[in-house]
């Protein structure tokens, strides 16, 4: 019996809330030594903690990151059925909206798979922007300073509207309209937040949680609609498809924004070439 197996036997005897510290230590060890077959035994325990909502936020943040580095089995790609959640937004036919914001794991596949050289994926304006050598997302993602922002199971951030639009085109999807996104959050009950009201504490990754960075998708278990669409109030702001003049509407709720920005109807505007460490996107079709 390996030391890892012995440690795991001890962990499963603990209540969920007491597993975080030992799991973090075990996960760090596996990452330092190189993930091997033992990771397959650790990953389900990490998922259980993430989905439970148990534990201190700082420890949960690290559990989520370790899960992402070892391989998060919750992640799907747009060609898989359970990537999507069907939601009636009151316009006849329902839409399918991504369960999570687009993750780094997804976007790296796009970037590494030729997405930045495939002219067919880009609008005329987006392609002109790209040809201007504006240091696109991959140039930023590989910087050492971005390490905490590019964990595979965290939402991709620092993506311009043009890059988000090209990724959506690459998988046969699109960005949501602002009214669609609002309808998903509010539902028939007209909720101000995905979980209802009030905003409360510990419900979404906003500035008040002082994590000071994005977290694994779904880590804030209350930030979800009854249908299971997650991270709609916080974690990362999201581009929408709606253009006003030379700018696009953005839902601003993010890890670096106050709770006021998490409100379902909150909107701000940004230039399509804007990028910041709290701005991501999700897909609809």
Closest residue by Cα to residue 215 from 138, 280, 151: 151
pLDDT value of residue 54: 92
SS3 96: strand
| 143: phi then psi, degrees, rounded to nearest 5 | -75, 145
What is the average per-residue pLDDT within 159-165?
98
| 5: phi then psi, degrees, rounded to nearest 5 | -65, -40
pLDDT value of residue 1: 42
pLDDT value of residue 2: 60
Q: How confident is the model at residue 92 (pLDDT cuts 50, 70, 90)?
A: confident
Question: Beta-carbon neighbour count of residue 220 at 10 Å?
Answer: 26
Euclidean distance between CA atoms 212 and 70, whole angstroms: 22
Q: Are 108 and 116 in contact (CB under 8 A)?
A: no
pLDDT value of residue 12: 84
pTM metric for this prediction:
0.95
Q: What is the pLDDT of residues 9-60, one digit of tens each?
A: 888 888 888 889 999 999 998 888 876 677 888 999 999 999 999 999 999 9
Q: What percent of the chain has pLDDT over 90?
A: 84
Q: What is the pLDDT of residues 176-209, one digit of tens each?
A: 999 999 999 999 999 999 999 999 999 999 999 9
Euclidean distance between CA atoms 110 and 122, whole angstroms: 13
What is the greatest pairwise CA distance in the chain? 65
DSSP assignment string, 153-177: TSBP-S--HHHHHHHHHHTT-BPPP
Euclidean distance between CA atoms 191 and 214, whole angstroms: 24
pLDDT value of residue 281: 98
126: Cβ contacts below 8 Å, ≥ 6 apart: 161, 162, 163, 165, 166, 272
What is the average per-residue pLDDT within 92-110?
95
């Amino acid at each position: 019996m390996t030391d890892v197996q012995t440690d795991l036997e001890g962990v499963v005897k603990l209540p969920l809330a007491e597993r975080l510290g030992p799991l973090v230590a075990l996960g760090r060890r596996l990452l330092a030594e190189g993930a091997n077959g033992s990771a397959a035994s650790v990953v389900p325990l990490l998922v259980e903690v993430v989905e439970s909502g148990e534990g201190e936020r700082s420890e949960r943040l690290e559990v989520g990151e370790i899960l992402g580095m070892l391989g998060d089995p919750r992640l799907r790609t747009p060609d898989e059925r359970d990537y999507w959640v069907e939601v009636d937004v009151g316009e006849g036919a329902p839409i399918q909206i991504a369960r999570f914001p687009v993750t780094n794991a997804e976007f790296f596949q796009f970037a590494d798979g030729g997405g930045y050289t495939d002219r067919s994926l880009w609008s005329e304006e987006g392609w002109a922007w790209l040809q201007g050598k504006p240091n696109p997302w991959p140039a930023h993602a590989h910087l050492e300073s971005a390490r905490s922002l590019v964990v595979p199971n965290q939402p991709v951030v620092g993506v311009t509207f043009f890059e988000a639009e090209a990724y959506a085109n690459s998988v046969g999807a699109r960005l949501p309209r602002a009214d669609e996104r609002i309808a998903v959050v509010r539902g028939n009950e007209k909720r101000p937040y995905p979980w209802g009201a009030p905003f409360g504490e510990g419900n979404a990754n906003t500035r008040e949680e002082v994590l000071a960075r994005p977290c694994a998708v779904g880590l804030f278990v209350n930030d979800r609609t009854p249908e299971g669409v997650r991270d709609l109030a916080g974690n990362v702001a999201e581009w929408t498809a709606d253009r006003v003049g030379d700018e696009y509407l953005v839902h601003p709720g993010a890890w670096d924004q106050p709770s006021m920005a998490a409100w379902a109807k909150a909107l701000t505007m940004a230039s399509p070439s804007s990028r910041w460490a709290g701005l991501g996107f999700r897909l609809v079709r």
